[in-house]
Amino acid sequence: MTAPDGPLRLDAPREDALEHAARLVADAWRSFDRFRPEEPPLDERVRRLLESALPANPSPVHDVLDDAARILDESIAQARPRYFAFIGSSGLEIGTLGDFLAHSYDINLAVDARAATQIEDQAVGWVGEFIGFPASAGAFTSGGTVSNVTAIAAARERALPGSRHAGLGGRRLAVYCSQEVHYSVTRAIELLGIGSDNLRAVEIDGLRRMRPDALDRAIAEDVAAGVIPVAVVATAGTTLTGAIDPLDRVSDVCEAHGVWLHVDGAYGLPAASVPSRIEMFAGLARADSCSVDAHKWLYLPKACGVVLVRDDRALASAFSHEQGYLPHQQHELHAADITLEYSRPFRALKLWLAFRAHGAAQFREAIERNLAEADLLYRRAQHTEDFEVMEAPPQLSIAPLRHVPPDVTDLNAHNQALAEAIQADGRVYLAPALIDDEVWLRPCFVNYRTTDDDVLALLEVARELGERLARTGSAA
């Protein structure tokens, strides 16, 4: 059967376009299997495309798909096995297929969508089971930023009931976190009218974890001064070094003061599922809410965040609305009643598919491998003369290191220049980070394609470029 006529029809049969796109995807997957020796520069065609004006008329679909593939190939893809910057993702293949299917049906998960709505609930439950959090409700989000603001909005409503309608009425509220909290929490506090001046950055210990005694003091002082504590945000895997706040002892403090505990595990929480780290997350099950990003350490393509809550009324009390065009007839709550977004893609499908296609055990195995990779880098660098590592081994899969050649006096400038040289070189990709005012190289391992050879290549490339920089002042 041929496709109907009219505008917005392709110049070729859509089945051919689909096959063409599938070939491009298969090429991309093959190119991600192994590292590539360099990042290609932008070619002439891409440069011209970047300058083109709004197209008035159609172009052949095969040509425009080829152009898209060319642009993607000349961009920095986190899916490559030697991408070690920030906290990447892997574009897990079954997840890509899940997105493709979900986008093809274009279901809106705002109101009840029958099976898809139930799959979202089921996937929320599976995530809770995987990490060991007793979720009674939750939702898929665009990521940690939205998950954190969602959970803190629920906490604000519990701390000051009615404040979503009446505002804060001049009351002073505060939120508590470690000094190394992700800045999405700062933004959440600003958006929720609490004010980032009222975000209490609690001291950290030698392992860069929130100190429960300092937290206890900070809350007690605020309460004595008439400030209302809204929530404690503990981080289970900080973005900077992967430190895990002591959740059990932080829970004790929260319970003693009756304060909501949110665990920001956007990066680290998947590691709560593996035998080698499970103990480090003890106390997670006592939290009121948590965030986990499947587009980080569950390897899925962006965007796939999840916010989970223990009390199934908590999100609705902060987000539900009654509108004439959205009556609550058959369904007590719509997804839009427990989240910030209205138009919501079917993000849950890719995670549901991934758990079905691979099983939870394979995810655990991949996470353990990433943990071993961080450990391998740490131990190798520790036994060299020209690299420095942190005093304690990695808690998760981030292993910061510095190049410290003997004749370099300004190590910060040297490591900053080295990070830039590594990015320009393109054999491996990583980013620098500032730890206690020192510039470090900060590799993070969250890709299931990365091998031990890739990890060791990072050290070799950093050494080669670092030595050249130290000797000649240039890595070129």
Ligand X SMILES: Cc1ncc(COP(=O)(O)O)c(C=O)c1O
Report, in Å, the least distance between residue 463 CB and ligand X. 28
Q: Which residue lies nearer to ligand X by CB, 235 or 397? A: 235
Q: Which residue lies nearer to ligand X by CB, 400 or 466? A: 400
Backbone torsions φ then ψ of 432, nearest 5 degrees = -85, 165
Which tokens is 376 given?
A: 């391998």
Which of the stretches 127-135, 242-250, 261-269, 468-476 binds ligand X when contact is defined by CB under 6 A? 261-269
* Number of shown-chain residues binding ligand X (CB under 6 A): 13
Q: Compute the distance between CA of residue 407 and CA of residue 202 in angstroms, rounded to an integer.
A: 38
Tell how far CA 142 is from the center of its chain: 10
Q: Which residue lies nearer to ligand X by CB, 157 or 264? A: 264
C-beta atoms surrounding 7 within 10 Å? 5
Report, in Å, the least distance between residue 176 CB and ligand X. 16
x/- contact string, 76-105, with ligand X (CB under 6 A)?
-----------x------------------
Ramachandran assignment for 75, one of left (phi > 0), alpha (psi -120 to 50 degrees), beta (any other): beta
Residue 239 in contact with ligand X, rule: CB under 6 A? yes
Which of the stretches 143-151, 340-348, 376-384, 421-429 binds ligand X when contact is defined by CB under 6 A? 143-151
The answer to whether the peptide bond before residue 303 is cis (omega within 30 degrees of 0) is yes
3-state secondary structure 131-185: HCCCCCEEEEECCHHHHHHHHHHHHHHHHCCCHHHHCCCCCCEEEEEECCCCHHH
Q: Compute the distance between CA of residue 118 and CA of residue 123 in angstroms, rounded to an integer.
A: 9
Q: Compute the distance between CA of residue 160 and CA of residue 141 in angstroms, rounded to an integer.
A: 25
Report, in Å, the least distance between residue 141 CB and ligand X. 8
Which of the stretches 20-28, 96-104, 141-149, 314-322 binds ligand X when contact is defined by CB under 6 A? 141-149
Q: Which residue lies nearer to ligand X by CB, 267 or 448? A: 267
Site for ligand X in 170-209 (CB under 6 A): 182, 184
Unique residue bearing structure tokens 């190590």: 411
Report, in Å, the least distance between residue 195 CB and ligand X. 20
Residue 270 in contact with ligand X, rule: CB under 6 A? no
Q: Which residue lies nearer to ligand X by CB, 228 or 446? A: 446
Q: Compute the distance between CA of residue 221 and CA of residue 229 in angstroms, rounded to an integer.
A: 10
Return the SS3 of 432: strand
Which tokens is 476 given?
A: 């070129």
Site for ligand X in 283-302 (CB under 6 A): 293
Q: Which residue lies nearer to ligand X by CB, 266 or 441? A: 266
Residue 145 in contact with ligand X, rule: CB under 6 A? yes
| Greatest CA separation for the chain | 75
CB 344 within 8 A of CB 140: yes
From candidates 264, 337, 373, 454, binder to ligand X by CB under 6 A: 264
From candidates 246, 305, 394, 443, binder to ligand X by CB under 6 A: 305
Which of the stretches 49-57, 118-126, 259-267, 319-327 binds ligand X when contact is defined by CB under 6 A? 259-267
Report, in Å, the least distance between residue 252 CB and ligand X. 22
Q: Which residue lies nearer to ligand X by CB, 304 or 419? A: 304
From candidates 176, 267, 319, 363, binder to ligand X by CB under 6 A: 267
Exposed / middle / buried, residue 321 (Cβ in 10 Å: 0-12, 13-18, 19+) = exposed
Q: Which of 463, 387, 402 is nearest to 438 (CA)?
A: 402
Residue 339 in contact with ligand X, rule: CB under 6 A? no
CB 180 within 8 A of CB 240: yes
Q: In what order do the strands lie in the sheet with 137-141?
A: 137-141, 305-309, 289-293, 260-264, 228-235, 173-178, 199-202
Q: Which of 472, 476, 464 is nearest to 403 (CA)?
A: 464
Backbone torsions φ then ψ of 205, nearest 5 degrees = -95, -170
Which of the stretches 211-219, 264-272, 277-285, 403-411 binds ligand X when contact is defined by CB under 6 A? 264-272
Report, in Å, the least distance between residue 239 CB and ligand X. 4
Report, in Å, the least distance between residue 183 CB and ligand X. 8
Q: Which residue lies nearer to ligand X by CB, 296 or 403? A: 296
Residue 245 in contact with ligand X, rule: CB under 6 A? no
Which of the stretches 54-62, 98-106, 260-268, 324-332 binds ligand X when contact is defined by CB under 6 A? 260-268
Report, in Å, the least distance between residue 431 CB and ligand X. 12
C-beta atoms surrounding 468 within 10 Å? 15
Binding site for ligand X (CB under 6 A): 87, 143-145, 182, 184, 235, 239, 264, 266-267, 293, 305
